[in-house]
Amino acid sequence: MINQIIKFRAKRFIAAEKKEWLYPEKNINLSWTDLGKSLLPPIDELHHYGGEIYVGYKDGTSSYHDQYGRTEKEADYLNKAPRKGKVGANEPCVCGSGKKYKKCCRDKAEDEKPSSSVLSIRERNLRFFHIITKILNINEDSDWNNIRRNLTDEKIADIHRAVAMLWPSETDLMSLLPRPDSKVVRALYIGILDPRVIYKNVVSFSLFADEILIQSPFLNANIMNKDYSPIDNPGQYRQETIKNLTFLIELMPLIESGQVNLIPDPCIFNPVLRRQVMEEAEKRLGKVELDEKSKEAMETLVKEDFERFILSLPTENLEACIKHVRPGISDKDLKNLLECVKKKN
């Protein structure tokens, strides 16, 4: 039928691979109207349906669902262009580890290599840091106190938008994680994720491991309720964001060298795993006991965090706290104390 349609529509010449194809009318005797029906999709079934669904609503909005029920399209911006030509032994490995090709994936079987078609964990961390430097306008002359003071709600939201963009909920984290390697000693850090202790702990850890996996402290808003999302309610996360930024800056030299892989929480991408982890955590609730050394370290950090939280309160809230602790404080002493707090901040 298609050949007949092409011949009907031809202006002057037609061509075909076989001579008999030039005369479709010998086998088909249909009107132009009947031929046109062959181009329409079947009315009683879906034609070549790939599973994607676009839904339009009366209010003008729409939604999208792919064949797996996901509401977001594949993050094409995370794909890497295929490498052309042969990779040199001393060139950076295509997997994005930061190592030389000869010391990484060259002699490995395909199933032992991490994915090289999308940005690696290290490459996403480097891109995230680059985005942060743009958002906060960080350069060699930047002063941390000024950066901290100028951290607005919009900047906090932008930082967490970058996290959500680099780690969409459909990420195949398992394909990005480094494979077991007899030549490489890897360790998973499960200690305190706090910038005041992380560098000391990781450096001491690095004496025994070539690579260290650390869970990123940045929250991913893709799976969070909007009421608690750092994108929709960034003001709730000011102090936490400052700590996390310090955490990232402390570790960046080790991330860039490939000694540290800052990975997202695997539960973000696996609802079943997330549910199982939560159930196990609930079973242990109230049963975990800290030794005195760990308890002392945690208490010190908690006290510092609490002090920082109190000092960062708006003036009217801070005044109320001071008057609650010292009901008889004079206006002069209150004013001097508030001035002291401002200088400390």
Residues 265 and 173 in one domain: yes
Range of the domain at 238: 115-269
Structure tokens that stand for 98 in this block: 């930061």
Look at the chain and report how many structural domains it folds into: 3
Q: How many Å apart are CA 212 and CA 186, to the nearest integer?
A: 6
pLDDT tens-digit readout, 198-241: 888 888 888 889 999 999 999 999 989 999 999 999 999 998 99
Same domain for 243 and 338, yes or no, is no
User: Are residues 9 and 130 part of one domain?
Assistant: no
Give yes or no: residues 31 and 139 share one domain. no
Using 50, 70 and 90 to split pLDDT, how confident is the model at 179?
confident
Please indicate, yes or no, whether residues 260 and 160 belong to a single structural domain of this protein. yes
**Helix 153-166 and helix 238-257, axial crossing angle in degrees, nearest 10:** 40
Confidence band for 46, pLDDT divided at 50, 70 and 90: low
Question: What's the angle, vertex CA 307, arms to CA 303 and CA 312, rounded to 5?
Answer: 150
Whole-model pTM over 0.75: no
The SS3 of residue 288 is coil
Dihedral sign, Cα of residue 113, residue 118, residue 123, residue 128: negative
In this prediction, residue 167 carries a pLDDT of 95
Rounded (5°) CA angle 180-247-229: 95
Q: Answer whether residue 51 is part of any domain.
A: no
216 and 119 co-located in one domain: yes
For the chain, state the CA radius of gyration. Answer: 30
Rounded to an integer, the average pLDDT of 320-339 is 83
207 and 306 together in one domain? no
Model confidence band, residue 180 (pLDDT cutoffs 50, 70, 90) = confident
My answer on whether 122 and 249 are in the same domain is yes
pLDDT at 47: 58
Neighbours of 345 (CB within 10 A): 11
- Asked whether residue 180 is domain-assigned, the answer is yes
Does residue 146 fall inside a structural domain? yes
What are 334's two structure tokens? 């209150």
Average pLDDT, the chain: 86
- The DSSP secondary structure of 129-184, one letter per residue, reads HHHHHHHHT--TT--HHHHHHT--HHHHHHHHHHHHHHS-TT--HHHHSPPP-TT-
Q: What is the C-alpha separation between 182 and 160, in angstroms, rounded?
A: 36
Q: Is the pLDDT of residue 186 over 70?
A: yes
User: Contact 114/175 with Cβ under 8 angstroms?
Assistant: yes
> Same domain, yes or no, for 242 and 138?
yes
Q: What is the mean pLDDT of residues 336-345?
A: 76
Q: 117-143 pLDDT, tens per residue?
A: 899 999 999 999 999 999 999 887 888
Specify the DSSP element, H or E, that contains 126: helix 121-136
pLDDT at position 345 is 62
Q: What local confidence, expressed as pLDDT, does residue 222 receive?
A: 92
Q: Is residue 126 part of a domain?
A: yes
Which residue among 269, 286, 321 closes a domain?
269
323: pLDDT strictly greater than 70: yes
Residue after which a domain boundary falls, among 233, 252, 269: 269
Structure confidence by residue, pLDDT tens digits, 18-35: 888 888 888 888 888 888
In a domain, residue 291? The reply is no
- Do 175 and 319 belong to one domain? no
Q: Which residue has the higher pLDDT, 71 or 7?
A: 7
Q: Are residues 308 and 244 in the same domain?
A: no
Number of neighbouring beta carbons within 10 Å of residue 69 = 8
Share of the chain above pLDDT 90, in %: 30
Residue 71 lies in a domain: no
**323 and 225 within one domain:** no
- At 59-102, the pLDDT tens digits run 998 888 776 667 777 788 899 888 788 889 899 888 888 889 89
Q: Is residue 33 part of a domain?
A: yes
Residue 50 has pLDDT above 70, yes or no: no
Give one DSSP letter per residue of 186-255, joined into a string.
EEEE-S---TTTHHHHHHHHTTT-SEEEEE--S--GGGS-GGG-TTT-GGGGHHHHHHHHHHHHHHHHHH
